[in-house]
Chain A
């Protein structure tokens, strides 16, 4: 039953994915400017340009170009960046880990703080804890990520600079930190290129995971310290959303008959809250989590800009301003696909949490 549900959701995602490819293709074609001169420079002659257009298939009808584009993507070929003279996939392997680490840290912070606060303010409904949490959550939802990031940097990197609370305002690690990749530490022999090599490099650039794999505690400490400010900045809006949703969803569930029954049976209060109420309140919370992912990926552009992180968001923004079409197309597609897959996971977890959904 579950498998059938997953398959059905996967099939439903295909037209959306095709739509995403069509939109990115169309948007990239609509960016003002001549692709030949953008790639080869302003001084390219007419003949070079014609040859270039022929080689890249740009002289073919537009629908054929779209088919070629899809074929290339299916083979994992996103073309080459003009700015870096490197394949786009290569740049992705370098930059994606920063964003993945940042997004997960932000999500971690928001869940870790948001859910307990939401539960607490529902259980202590109308108390000062509830009032303070909700005021704080309303402010959190309205927070401009870029402002919060700058203010956090000001407080923790400047005002608290000679205290143990000092936190670095930019970068992922301090200069000179040993970031030996796990495959080098383990003496693994990997091919020079290909899927496994890419995967290993990707994992090794997730600093925290790499530090755990190699037992490099110094790297772990430094990477975590660098991650705190950006993760808090990026995680604040989802944190506030989760706290609000947990609270209202818990309040609804706490008024149900089965909660009273459980209490009447003599089940311990903490157990009623966590096992009876929270489980049933989980569905709307997961929905908010799913919705927060978009905010997270969009906010990553701003957070990475402020904290000097060269992640996907920042690279995409730079590529847009530099008219680096291949990078724009490739990164947008990857982010959108990432987004669709995450939403798919959210949908599937609905079915896992609530059996009624998968049986329908």
Chain B
């Protein structure tokens, strides 16, 4: 019986699923494009990805190269831009020279890579762990759910940056450990989102149907429930990238994340923070870059939330 029916179900299902997912994405895409703010967000992200990919070609200098003896530049020299009247016999440094006589513009371009990697990797980690925990809790209920959600409550009871600082202290300062700490701290948000969706989807008719047709736990959870719980996760994930980049920059600013001479925006800002009155360009540019990146992911996340919200369905018609 089971052998006879299951291929048909699979066939039917894959057809309906692909149809549904295509239309959903199309609607989402259309709605995203209609919003100016999400367009701006996507534009900035695209630009950042381009910069990250082409950094070695567009950066005028090596980000780690100390320019003493190579060029006639001073420590923390202000930006020199030929178009804005800087004498052409001086070497051009769009964002000036940092405390170790390196070209700040090149360091900033390379920093894009690290920020994007930080955002995506911590969120991926948190989504994977959070989804597994949330799905287990939501699907099985009972003591498993209770135990998982109480642990999540405790994690949420600490201000996230403080917990991340404490975890980095235990693991030791460094970029990888900072990523791990931020990842751990953001798990509860995803676990909660997934659990809530699983709880509501678990009772849907199509899930009962799969169960009645003899589908096992794996098929039900990974084939039926989780794909349908994806929407809130995408929104949460996009906004999560913004938070992760901000928190990672804060940890590096405090000296617990990326270590010098790594070109990381938070760490660049942190090492030069006492020079804000004498060399403001060393503080302004890295901070502005952090703000712009976080803003882009926030705009896209907000746009996605509105675009994927079924209550706003009429807008797309």
Q: Could you tell me if A332 and B166 are in contact, using CB atoms closer than 8 angstroms?
A: yes
**Across the interface, which residues of B come within 8 angstroms of A320, CB to CB?**
165-166, 169
Does residue B170 face the partner (Cβ distance < 8 Å to A)? Answer: yes
Q: Could you tell me if B283 and A301 are in contact, using CB atoms closer than 8 angstroms?
A: no
**Across the interface, which residues of A come within 8 angstroms of B143, CB to CB?**
none
> Which of A32, A293, A336 makes the CB contact (< 8 A) with B170?
A32
User: How many A-B contacts if CB must be within 8 Å?
Assistant: 133
> Which of B153, B161, B277 makes the CB contact (< 8 A) with A154?
B277
Interface residues of A (CB under 8 A from B): 15-16, 19-20, 22-24, 27, 30-32, 134, 138-139, 141-148, 150-151, 153-154, 157-158, 293-299, 301-302, 305-306, 313, 316-317, 320-321, 328, 332, 335-336, 339-340
Asked if A144 meets B277 with Cβ closer than 8 Å, knowing A316-B162, A320-B166, A320-B169, the reply is no
Q: Could you tell me if A151 and B287 are in contact, using CB atoms closer than 8 angstroms?
A: yes
Could you jot down 17 A-B contacts, CB within 8 Å?
Answer: A20-B157, A22-B154, A27-B167, A134-B37, A138-B295, A144-B269, A144-B291, A146-B253, A147-B287, A148-B287, A150-B287, A151-B276, A157-B277, A301-B162, A328-B166, A328-B169, A335-B162
**Across the interface, which residues of B come within 8 angstroms of A30, CB to CB?**
170
**Across the interface, which residues of A come within 8 angstroms of B37, CB to CB?**
134, 138
Q: Could you tell me if B280 and A154 are in contact, using CB atoms closer than 8 angstroms?
A: yes
Interface residues of B (CB under 8 A from A): 37, 150-151, 153-155, 157-162, 165-167, 169-170, 172, 242, 246, 249-250, 253-255, 266, 269-270, 273, 276-277, 280, 283-284, 286-288, 290-291, 294-295, 298-299, 302
Q: Could you tell me if B294 and A332 are in contact, using CB atoms closer than 8 angstroms?
A: no
Asked if A154 meets B276 with Cβ closer than 8 Å, knowing A298-B162, A336-B157, the reply is yes
Q: Could you tell me if B276 and A150 are in contact, using CB atoms closer than 8 angstroms?
A: yes
Q: How far is the CA of A335 from the CA of B161 in the complex (A)?
A: 12
Main secondary structure of the interface of B (DSSP, over half): helix
Asked if A19 meets B153 with Cβ closer than 8 Å, knowing A144-B291, A301-B165, A320-B166, the reply is yes
**Across the interface, which residues of A come within 8 angstroms of B162, CB to CB?**
297-298, 301, 313, 316, 332, 335
Q: Could you tell me if B269 and A339 are in contact, using CB atoms closer than 8 angstroms?
A: no
User: 3 tightest A-B contacts by CB?
Assistant: A147-B287, A298-B161, A19-B154
Q: Could you tell me if A336 and B169 are in contact, using CB atoms closer than 8 angstroms?
A: no
**Across the interface, which residues of A come within 8 angstroms of B172, CB to CB?**
32
**Across the interface, which residues of A come within 8 angstroms of B288, CB to CB?**
147
**Across the interface, which residues of B come within 8 angstroms of A143, CB to CB?**
291
**Across the interface, which residues of A come within 8 angstroms of B253, CB to CB?**
144, 146, 302
Name the distance in Å between A344's Cβ and chain B's nearest Cβ. 11
Q: A142-B294, A144-B249, A147-B287 are in contact. List 19 more A-B contacts (CB 8 A).
A: A16-B150, A27-B167, A27-B170, A30-B170, A32-B170, A139-B291, A142-B246, A144-B253, A146-B269, A147-B286, A153-B276, A153-B277, A294-B160, A297-B159, A306-B273, A317-B165, A320-B165, A321-B169, A335-B158
